[in-house]
Amino acid sequence: MTDRRLSAGLKVGAYLAAAVALTLYVVEWPQDSLVARLVTFPHVLALTGQHLAIVALSSVLAILTAVPLGLMLTRDWARQWTPRVVGFVNVCQTVPSLAVVALAVGLLGIGATTAIVALWLYALLPILNNTLTGLDGVDAATLQAARGMGMRPGRVLRRIEVPLALPLIVAGVRTAVTVNIGSAILAAFVGGGGLGDLIIAGNNISRVQVVVLGAGLPMLMALIVDALFDVAAEETAG
């Protein structure tokens, strides 16, 4: 386990170093003066911060809504509907992220809030899906045994159901966060900022360096999150 942590730590370090190196390279050796004016260290840092903030806020909101919703929808009175809800959520998951962002714009107008709301809704789906599947998959005999020993429903939930469903819930969060890091690029279209700004700017002035920087940073961000979730998956599985 410590081995895993160590290797995850090394990976995270390597990706961070790569991100810094990539930024430094563009800042120090810009293609031309246009790039030099556009890409400065503070600017890149600010966009990265915005990107992270959008992802973090929408993901936390998604966890805080999807998990309780999943818990509620798997109580006895609703359990018979669980497969159908999962089916519905699965259908919703096929809706592309750009469509969700666009719908949010149509309803809320332009701005960072729009981006966060859109990504929140989009991240909700995988988490809810996995929470439902995880809780629904807890062996009925195990639940019977727990109840038979005199555990109250709340205790059964906390001590049996959630721990058993946790690996799947974490996997759902992992999917949601990873997808969100990519989707947050679309925030740039709705005035939400983030690293998508760099890609769009690079595209508008046709500077490969800027586009690559705008693409490379979220890519490395996704890799870092992936390495961290490797550890989380290990911990919750054991």
Q: Tell me the closest approach of the beta carbon of residue 26 to another protein, in angstroms.
A: 14
Part of the chain binding another protein (CB under 8 A), chosen from 38-46, 61-69, 169-177, 188-196: 188-196
| Cβ closest to another protein, residue 22 vs residue 138 | 22
> Any contact of residue 2 with another protein (CB under 8 A)?
no
| Cβ closest to another protein, residue 16 vs residue 91 | 91
Q: What is the rounded CA–CA span in Å between residue 109 and residue 96?
A: 19
| Cβ closest to another protein, residue 97 vs residue 133 | 97
> Any contact of residue 117 with another protein (CB under 8 A)?
no
Q: What are phi and psi of 152, to 5 degrees?
A: -75, 155
| Cβ closest to another protein, residue 117 vs residue 156 | 117
Q: Tell me the closest approach of the beta carbon of residue 24 to another protein, in angstroms.
A: 19
Part of the chain binding another protein (CB under 8 A), chosen from 1-9, 29-37, 131-139, 203-211: 203-211
Among 17, 78, 91, 237, binds another protein (CB under 8 A): 91
208-237: contacts with another protein (CB under 8 A): 208, 211-212, 214-215, 218-219, 222-223
| Cβ closest to another protein, residue 49 vs residue 153 | 49
> Any contact of residue 84 with another protein (CB under 8 A)?
no
Beta-carbon count within 10 A of 65 CB: 16
State the angle between helix axes of 82-93 and 112-136 in degrees (0 to 180), rounded to the nearest 10. Answer: 140
Q: Tell me the closest approach of the beta carbon of residue 101 to another protein, in angstroms.
A: 8
Q: What is the rounded CA–CA span in Å between residue 179 and residue 71?
A: 23
Site of interaction with another protein (CB under 8 A): 91, 94-100, 102-103, 105-107, 110, 178, 182, 185-186, 189-190, 196, 199-200, 202-203, 206, 208, 211-212, 214-215, 218-219, 222-223
